[in-house]
Amino acid sequence: MNYRSISDMNQTILKNLHKVPEDVQVVVGIPRSGLLVALMLGLHRNLIVTDLDGLIARRAISKGTVTLSDVRNSRDYLTTKRKILVIDDSYSTGSTLQKARRSLEEAELPHEILYGVVYGGLKAKGNVDIVFERLLKPHIFEWNLSRNAILPYSCVDMDGVLCRNPMPLEDDDSRRYMNFLENAEPLWRPDRKLGWIVTSRLEKYRTLTENWLRDHNVEYKQLYMLDVESQHARRRVSVPGYKASVFRSVDADLFMESSFVEAIEIASLTKGNVLCFENSRLIQASRCEELRSQLRKPANLLRPLFLYAGYLFRKFPEEHIIVGPIKRSGRYFFRRLQQWQRQH
């Protein structure tokens, strides 16, 4: 399985800018994903950007006034012949690009038009002018994950994926936790029905959790929850082991996990594909040892401690007689730790 994040796509574009002819003047994105590509490419090459309807209507997407000349900013720029690159994120069956080509041919525009994609399989050869990277199926893209066909066959974590994680002071069995369960802010919103939601929330909170999912229009086959008595008891349970056992039992194709550390353990235990939302990486069993060694670096080990300390310190003013000096010392130490990491 191949996975590409938005950051990966940006790097692919940067590495392949030489494939875009120097005399291209306008880049046109095929909605929706192609617009993301067009904006990235337009920024890197300082090009006029528009979408298909905009090109046909002879209008560009509004832009800043300091980056392009007055001539290129004028409304008449697309009324005369230009060299144009129409681009999309990927080429699968070719239907999207063919539809775009027909629309532009029917519009009888005066421009010289090239067609390109960032990721193309074997079918792209001979059908598009520019392919930045050859990518075979199956593949998943971060920017359209919410409507990917793999969702009904996936396990999905809840806190940190569908909604935010509870704050440290919320993560207990108090009324604060009840309030979190009822009112947690949503994060990622899937457009398809999910397979199995696998959460380390306790079974006794099933009704509150199901209510939240219903209120936010999240559809799923089944909800798995941890069957222990209290949050204290949960801390004695291996959460990655519990999630891995569910992943194996339902025979899912993918597990979407919020925590990088837990994602590595789930992938190691199941030999399956785990998509980590914390850093937008696909974790596969073959790389688990390498990733564990990265986590053992001093800066990575201490970072959660500093994040938690930062959360607590934000509750107190800088002038506090005790917390103030600790905050300043912590910032200084963390900067030195980052410098040490860059040098090593």
Ranges of H-type helices in 125-259: 175-183, 206-215, 231-234, 239-250
Mean pLDDT (whole number) for 51-64: 83
| 133-180 residue pLDDT tens | 999 888 999 999 999 999 999 999 999 999 999 987 787 778 899 999
pLDDT bucket at 127, cuts 50 / 70 / 90? confident
**Backbone φ, ψ for residue 239 (5° rounding):** -65, -45
Q: Does the pTM exceed 0.75?
A: yes
Domain boundary among 144, 161, 190: 144
Residue-wise burial string across 117-138, b where 16 or more C-beta atoms lie within 10 A, e elsewhere = bbbbbeebeeebebbbbebeee
| 73-107 residue pLDDT tens | 556 788 889 999 999 999 988 899 999 999 999 99
Pair (63, 186) in one structural domain = no
Tokens 């730790």 found at: 337
Pair (188, 75) in one structural domain = no
Pair (52, 10) in one structural domain = yes
Does the bond joining 138 to the residue before it have cis omega, within 30 degrees of 0?
yes
Pair (217, 322) in one structural domain = no
What is the pLDDT at residue 288?
81
Mean pLDDT (whole number) for 314-338: 70
What is the pLDDT at residue 61?
80
What is the pLDDT at residue 64?
57
Domain boundary among 108, 125, 144: 144
What is the pLDDT at residue 317?
60
pLDDT bucket at 184, cuts 50 / 70 / 90? very high
Q: How far apart are CA 275 and CA 140, in angstroms?
A: 10
Q: Indicate the SS3 state at residue 96.
A: helix
Pair (202, 319) in one structural domain = no
Pair (204, 265) in one structural domain = yes
Mean pLDDT (whole number) for 257-264: 93
What is the pLDDT at residue 119?
95
Query: Are 254 and 154 in contact, with CB atoms under 8 Å apart?
Result: yes
What is the pLDDT at residue 308?
58
66, pLDDT greater than 60: no
Pair (156, 139) in one structural domain = no
Tokens at 160, concatenated = 């940190």
Tokens at 225, concatenated = 């929850």
Q: How far apart are CA 202 and CA 224, in angstroms?
A: 10
**What's the CATH number where 189 sits?**
3.40.50
What is the pLDDT at residue 296?
64
Pair (136, 206) in one structural domain = no
What mean pLDDT value characterizes the chain? Answer: 87
Mean pLDDT (whole number) for 192-211: 96
Higher pLDDT, 109 or 307: 109
Domain count, the chain: 3
| 242-258 residue pLDDT tens | 999 999 999 999 999 99
Pair (73, 199) in one structural domain = no
Mean pLDDT (whole number) for 203-223: 97
What is the pLDDT at residue 337?
76
- Among 39-43, 85-89, 121-125, 280-284, which stretch is predicted with the lowest mean pLDDT? 121-125
Query: Are 41 and 20 in contact, with CB atoms under 8 Å apart?
Result: yes
